[in-house]
Each structure stands twice: as C-alpha cells, then as structure tokens.
Amino acid sequence: MKELLTLGIESSCDETAAAVVRGRHEVLSSIVASQHDIHDKYGGIVPELACRRHVEVIRPIVAEALKKAGAKVEDIGLVAVTRGPGLVGALLVGVSYAKAFAFARGLPLCGVNHLHGHVMASFVENPDAPLPMLSLLVSGGHSELFLVERPGAMKRLGGTRDDAAGEVFDKVARMMNLGYPGGPVVEKMAREGTVRFDVPVARLHGGESFDFSFSGPKTAVKNIIRVFEEKGEPTPVADVCASFQKSVIDALTAKTKLAAERVRPKSISLAGGVACNGALRERFKKLGDTLGLPVVIPPAALCADNAVMIAAAGAHMYMDNPESPQWMNYLEMDADPGWMA
Ligand code: KG4
Ligand code: ZN
C-alpha cells in the first residue's frame, strides 16, 4: 500500500502554513508565510489584518507545499487543519479552506488542536523518544506542562494563569519599542546585557503548583523603565532584557524540574515559539543532565508555528483509528478558538 500523504494547514495566529508529511512524520515540504511585517508597527497582532493576509496567501501557500513535496492534489490522502485554539477569524480561513479541499476530493479531514500540534513536533525527528514525556509548551498564548503518554495522548499538569511566556516577551519588547514579535529581539538584546535587576516571578502555592504566572515580571520591567524615565535617563535595554529573560527561564525550568520529580517521566521536551530561545534551550539541556533524562528539543522551525506539526498530529489521529466515521463527517466542524488540550 502506498504510504499516506497528509496535507497539513495552520492559520491560527499570524503564520499561514502548509506542509506535506508522508506516513506519520516524514516531512516532504513545509511552507510558512509569516505576517510579522504587517503587525510589527502595531507592537502586536491586529486580528483583522491577520485574517486578510491568511485569505490572500492560503491558496498559493498550499500550492507551494504540494509543489515542493513533488505531490499532485490527487496524491493527498488526508487533510489536517488547526481547529483551535487561536484567533477565530484566522482559524476560520484554514478550516474553511481545508473543508472545501477535503470535500471536493472525498478525502478524510482531521481537526487538530494547536497545542497537540506543538507537542507533536517533538516526535517528528524523535519518533522513538522515551515515554511518558514531560513537555513544556511555551508560545505566544500558552505556557503549559503536559505529560505525554504517547503521541496524541497528553494530560495537562498546569498552565498559564495570566500572561503566557511568549506574551510577556512581546509585551516587554513593546514597552521598550523593540517591535513585534518580542521574543527574538529580547533574546538578542539579552545576549549583550548583564543581569542586574530584580525581576521576581510569583511562586504559585509555594512551588506546589504546576501553573505559571508571568504578570509579575511584566510589572517589574514596567517599574524599572519608569524609574529610569523619572530620572531622565535612557533605559538600559540590554540589561533589562537580560534580567527579564533570566527570571522567566529560571521560572520555566524550576517548574519543569518540580513536575519531573513528581511525575517521573522518561524524557523531557520543549515546544512552542519561545522554545526558539537559545538560552532556554541551553538551560533545558542542562536540566535534562541534572535529572538524568533525555531531552528532546525540535529545531526552531518546528517550534514556531508550522504545518508539519499539524499534519503529523492529524496523521497519528487518523492512522491510529482509520475506520472512525468522524474523519468523513466534518461538514459541521467549526473553528474552536477556545479549545484547550
Ligand atoms: O508558537 P508560536 O509561533 O505561536 C503561538 O502559538 O503563539 O509562538 C510565538 C511566540 C511569540 O510570543 C514570540 O515572541 C515567541 O514565541 N518567541 C520567542 C522567541 N522566538 C519567538 N520568545 C523568546 N525567545 C525567542 N527567541
Ligand atoms: Zn503556536
């Protein structure tokens, strides 16, 4: 039997992406059209502008993904699309396109949870990673800890109480007029700075909870900036970034360590856009050494939003249960902006 080719489509936020995956995780193509140019001057995502760009580019992006994979439309056996969580209008572009694509060709369709997709990225290059895996997912909308029993089956241990990790990187960057997205530029500035400011992160329930709260560091940075403004001095941006980044990474790794000691996983993994951060990646590797556990950190292109992770998640869902009628009954399927994993 010919191996299944899955077309993955992602449009939950500010990236329009399409990918073709063979079997469960062989990547044939991955195309990502980022919208950072549009949102940069606003210091954050403008939903209406995001939706308009998705509408403009989704067809050419899918065509490019097929072409790069050397696949014709008729070769595709499954469509997988992000249903949520995300911006409702943005999700609707991908979901509507995917439904039409699948329906026109009588193909099965999987609606994929975006957070499942991010965690699935850990298995694309490491399909045999030891299980259960403790996965820290840090993105623009989420900071979650999951215990992954197997690809596609995961239990949430804790998550964002207020601002997500990526969100605070973005907000802190905006406070210092560093542009959007904030993560990469804060990381770059932090490399040139010295950790010399106190940026406290709340320890929820004295360290007994697996939830995160990052509104504290955001306020701390705001206060540091205000003090310099009141003195009429320029903000030492690099030092603020270094101090802020260290505090957030300390908090993320400390919680992951606590959770690992509690649930005793066989491996740990990092997922989501913030996992592109070099300092966090280094600290996570060290954490693995401390815990004596293998560490899975996907390449940056698989951490940031992409459609490979959606195609791989869909392929797993479908191949684990190919006879299920749900894959063909998708005309009622809607975007689900608040869907938690
Ligand atoms: O996973 P992702 O691409 O989209 C969401 O699902 O949200 O994550 C985007 C987030 C943004 O907040 C961005 O600032 C952050 O990831 N990010 C980073 C870095 N690169 C992207 N945060 C810290 N350091 C980075 N190098
Ligand atoms: Zn994401």
Q: At 165, is the pLDDT very low, low, confident or very high (cuts 50, 70, 90)?
A: very high
Please tell me the predicted confidence (pLDDT) of residue 44: 81
- Could you say which ligand is closest to the alpha carbon of residue 303? 1
Judge if 285 and 311 occupy the same domain. no
Q: Tell me the residue range of the domain where 193 lies.
A: 131-297
Q: Is 25 left (phi over 0), alpha (psi -120 to 50) or beta?
A: alpha
Has residue 79 been placed in a domain? Answer: yes
Nearest atom of ligand 1 to the alpha carbon of 181? 14
Say if CB 341 and CB 139 are below 8 A apart.
no
Has residue 161 been placed in a domain? Answer: yes
Neighbouring-strand partners of residue 160? 212
CB under 5 Å of ion ligand 2: residues: 139, 305
Q: What is the mean pLDDT of residues 175-194?
A: 96
DSSP 3: P
How many Å lie between the centroid of ligand 2 and the Cα of residue 266? 25
- Could you say which ligand is closest to the alpha carbon of residue 279? 1
Judge if 103 and 238 occupy the same domain. no
Percent of the chain whose predicted confidence (pLDDT) is above 70? 99
Say if CB 171 and CB 163 are below 8 A apart.
yes
Q: At 1, is the pLDDT very low, low, confident or very high (cuts 50, 70, 90)?
A: very low
Which residue's CA is the closest to the ligand 1 atom numbered 10?
140
Please tell me the predicted confidence (pLDDT) of residue 277: 98
Contacting residues for 179 by C-beta, under 8 A, at least 6 apart: 40, 43, 173, 185
Judge if 136 and 88 occupy the same domain. no
- Write out pLDDT tens, residues 65-80: 999 999 999 999 999 9
How many Å lie between the centroid of ligand 2 and the Cα of residue 98? 19
- State yes or no: pLDDT of 47 exceeds 60: yes
Which residue's CA is the closest to the ligand 1 atom numbered 1?
273
Please tell me the predicted confidence (pLDDT) of residue 206: 62
pTM here is: 0.96
Judge if 48 and 66 occupy the same domain. yes
Judge if 28 and 104 occupy the same domain. yes
Q: At 311, is the pLDDT very low, low, confident or very high (cuts 50, 70, 90)?
A: very high
Q: How far apart are CA 278 and CA 61, in angstroms?
A: 29
Q: What is the mean pLDDT of residues 191-213?
A: 88
How many Å lie between the centroid of ligand 2 and the Cα of residue 14? 9
- Write out pLDDT tens, residues 112-125: 999 999 999 999 99
- Could you say which ligand is closest to the alpha carbon of residue 300? 1
- Strand, helix or coil for residue 165: helix
Q: Which residues have C-beta atoms less than 6 Å from ligand 1?
A: 13, 139-141, 166-167, 169-170, 181-184, 187, 272-274, 276-277, 304-305
Judge if 97 and 141 occupy the same domain. no
Nearest atom of ligand 1 to the alpha carbon of 173? 14
- Could you say which ligand is closest to the alpha carbon of residue 273? 1
CA distances from 103 to 18, 82, 98, 99, 312 (A): 18, 17, 8, 6, 20
Judge if 165 and 226 occupy the same domain. yes
Has residue 124 been placed in a domain? Answer: no
Judge if 107 and 164 occupy the same domain. no
- State yes or no: pLDDT of 199 exceeds 90: yes
Any idea what the CATH number is for the domain that residue 292 is in? 3.30.420.40
- State yes or no: pLDDT of 28 exceeds 50: yes
- State yes or no: pLDDT of 310 exceeds 80: yes
How many Å lie between the centroid of ligand 2 and the Cα of residue 229? 35
Which residue's CA is the closest to the ligand 1 atom numbered 23?
183
Backbone angles phi, psi at 235, to 5 degrees: -70, 130
Q: At 246, is the pLDDT very low, low, confident or very high (cuts 50, 70, 90)?
A: very high
How many Å lie between the centroid of ligand 2 and the Cα of residue 39? 16
- Write out pLDDT tens, residues 282-301: 999 999 999 999 999 999 99
Which residue's CA is the closest to the ligand 1 atom numbered 19?
183
- State yes or no: pLDDT of 191 exceeds 80: yes
